[in-house]
Amino acid sequence: MEYEAVIGLEIHAQLLTKSKIFCACSAAFGGRANDDTCPVCLGLPGALPVLNRAVVEMATLAALALNLRINETSIFARKNYFYPDLPKGYQISQYDQPFSEHGWVEIPTSERDEQGRPIEWRKKRFRIRRLHIEEDAGKSLHEGQDPYSYVNLNRSGVPLLEIVSEPDFRSSWQAYDYVQYLRKTLQYIGVCDGNMEEGSLRCDANVSVRPKGETKFGTKTEIKNVNSFRFLQKAIEYEIARQIEILSEGGQIIQETRLWNERESRTYSMRSKEEAHDYRYFPEPDLPPLKVNQEWIAAIRSQLPELPEARRERFQKQYDLSMEESMLLTQTRSMADYYERVVQACGNAKQSANWILSELLRELKNASVDVANCPVKAEDLGRLIQLINTDTISGKIGKEVFIKMFETGKPPDVLIEELGLQQISDVTKLQQIIDAVIEANPKQLSSYKAGKTNLFGFFVGQVMKATQGRANPQLVNNLLKERLG
Ligand code: ADP
Ligand code: ZN
Ligand code: MG
């Protein structure tokens, strides 16, 4: 029997606010353990939460970017459970009246071949069930001397968005492409840094399978604790195969939470449905309903930048790029801005794309530098492309100049002058060099005259060598042809 996978994703994104969601403590990552705390985020009795306005602004931006409908009134709710990193004994979240609902994204997605290369990009719509606001818990550390554990409450009260998809994904790669896109969008609008390794973006995957053609969903499992995109894809793939195997052998899937173990490349059962929490949600009595009006929404909408998929599509059309190129060039907002500035400076969209995707990306990667801090100004790269197109330097020397530009941050004209790299297009000068080369190689000359015409390349090479590659190659060809007859 053929099976089909059904996947839904729950994403937690840490917001880039300066302070926490309900107090004035710093929300920054990496402070000394428990320094960034106060009675509110320590959950001391009697301390009262006050909602951070910046959190609502960022939630609004994110909801609009993901096409969600924002509820004019939403309600904070207590999600009750006991854990040492949750001093209040409950998390303030949202439950049956969330901040926003019914969103979607329409994005390119593709299966991958054995080498992980995309096979064919196709646009698909994935629905988003809800996006709500909540606070993060602290962090338990089970390290150091047994039997002790430690707790760091710096993260307690850091604002989060929880973004829950509909079960619309039918393969691990669709899920992968969706998470990548969500991350990119949150970064574009500046609300989350998207760092999965540091935990500022976390993703839980719900996975089930069903016989192809069946309309009812199968029993799902939930995979938690995956801390990279690639692991997420692998964990889902593993889980699909595991479930298909059980069903094919006549078994049944148990609804449970499973953990991904990267070292062993498999998932493990963490807890079954019977042990699942009953959170006893109820409305948070210490916070009023959250109200946002249409004016607020319109004001924030006007701050939205061009979103990644819209920008990618525009790049593809306007600059005549491939899907792959347009995706790479819109990977981050700084990259897309950089590209457009290079195009502006040199007037050639294709060459700009080629230079960035080969030379620039290689140098950035080697130096572990982000394009936002690129030592080569976009205008200077554009100028370099112009200098090549106008034959001031050859393409080959252009690549050497580019590496020097990356090392020194100097503009191309300055470097070409300093290093004396201008292309030699002076006919008289080139003729002198050609004469010298011919004089120095009498044997090759007589062989050539005797019919070994493939020695032509030898002479070209000698002239290039004599000029350290600076001779205008087209001109050398013409002059040599004249001279050798
Ligand atoms: P729960 O009550 O277990 O939290 P929800 O209905 O709230 O389940 O859905 C949680 C997530 O699981 C959502 O992202 C949803 O799309 C996804 N989901 C729900 N049912 C299934 C299923 N049968 N297979 C895969 N994913 C599912
Ligand atoms: Zn605090
Ligand atoms: Mg749920």
Do residues 21 and 66 share a domain?
yes
Pocket test for ligand 1, best of 3, 101, 129, 206 (most atoms within 8 A of CB): 206
Q: Are residues 244 and 116 in the same domain?
A: yes
* Ion ligand 2, residues whose Cβ is below 5 A away: 23, 25, 38, 40-41
Residues 256 and 400 in one domain: no
To test the ligand 1 pocket, which listed residue (220, 256, 271) has its Cβ within 8 A of the most ligand atoms? 220
Within 39-153, where are the H helices?
A: 53-65
How many domains would you assign to the chain? 3
Report the Cα 95 to chain-centroid distance in Å. Answer: 30
- Tally DSSP H helices, then E strands, for the chain: 16, 16
Tell me whether residue 344 is in a domain. Answer: yes
Quick one: which ligand is closest to 164's CA?
1
Which of 381, 400, 419 finishes a domain?
Answer: 419
Considering the domain architecture, whether residues 377 and 462 belong to the same structural domain is answered as no
| DSSP at 359 | I
207 neighbors 244 (Cβ within 8 angstroms): no
In terms of phi and psi (left: phi > 0; alpha: psi -120 to 50; beta: otherwise), the region of 225 is left
Q: CB under 6 Å to ligand 1: residues? A: 6-10, 164-167, 206-208, 217-218, 220
Q: How far does the centroid of ligand 3 lie from the alpha carbon of residue 10, in Å?
A: 9
For residue 119, tell me if it sits in a domain: yes
Who's near 187: CB < 8 A, 6+ residues apart?
193, 194, 332, 333
155 and 24 both lie in a single domain = yes
Domain boundary among 419, 445, 468: 419
166 and 279 part of one domain = yes
Assess if residue 303 is contained within a domain.
Answer: no
Q: Indicate whether 161 and 286 sit together in one domain.
A: yes
User: Which atom of ligand 1 lies closest to the CA of 167?
Assistant: 16
Which of 400, 419, 438 is the last residue before a domain boundary?
A: 419
Residue closest by Cα to atom 14 of ligand 1: 8
CA of 32 to the centre of ligand 2 (A): 14
What CATH code is carried by the domain that includes residue 470?
A: 1.10.10.410
Answer yes or no: is 364 within a domain: yes
Q: Which ligand 1 atom is nearest residue 164's CA?
A: 14
The reply to whether 197 and 336 lie within a common domain is no
Same domain as 173, residue 313: no
pLDDT tens for each residue of the chain, 485 residues long:
899 999 999 999 999 999 999 999 999 987 899 999 999 999 999 999 999 999 999 999 999 999 999 999 999 999 999 999 999 999 999 999 999 999 999 999 999 999 989 999 999 999 999 999 999 999 998 887 778 889 999 999 999 999 999 999 999 999 999 999 999 999 999 999 999 888 899 999 999 999 999 999 999 999 997 888 999 999 999 999 999 999 999 999 999 999 998 888 888 888 776 666 789 999 999 999 999 999 999 999 999 999 999 999 999 999 999 999 999 999 999 999 999 999 999 999 999 999 999 999 999 999 999 999 999 999 999 999 999 998 888 888 899 999 999 999 999 999 988 888 778 888 998 899 999 999 999 999 999 988 888 889 999 999 988 888 888 888 889 999 998 87
- Quick one: which ligand is closest to 47's CA? 2
Q: What spacing in Å lies between the alpha carbon of 180 and ligand 3's midpoint?
A: 22
Q: How many whole angstroms from 5 Cα to the centroid of ligand 3?
A: 19
Q: How far is the CA of 155 from the centre of ligand 2 (A)?
A: 10
Q: Indicate if 452 and 404 belong to the same structural domain.
A: no
Whole domain around residue 197: which residue ranges?
3-296
Rounded Cα distance, 200 and 193, in Å: 7
- What gap in Å lies between CA 109 and CA 236, rounded to an integer? 16
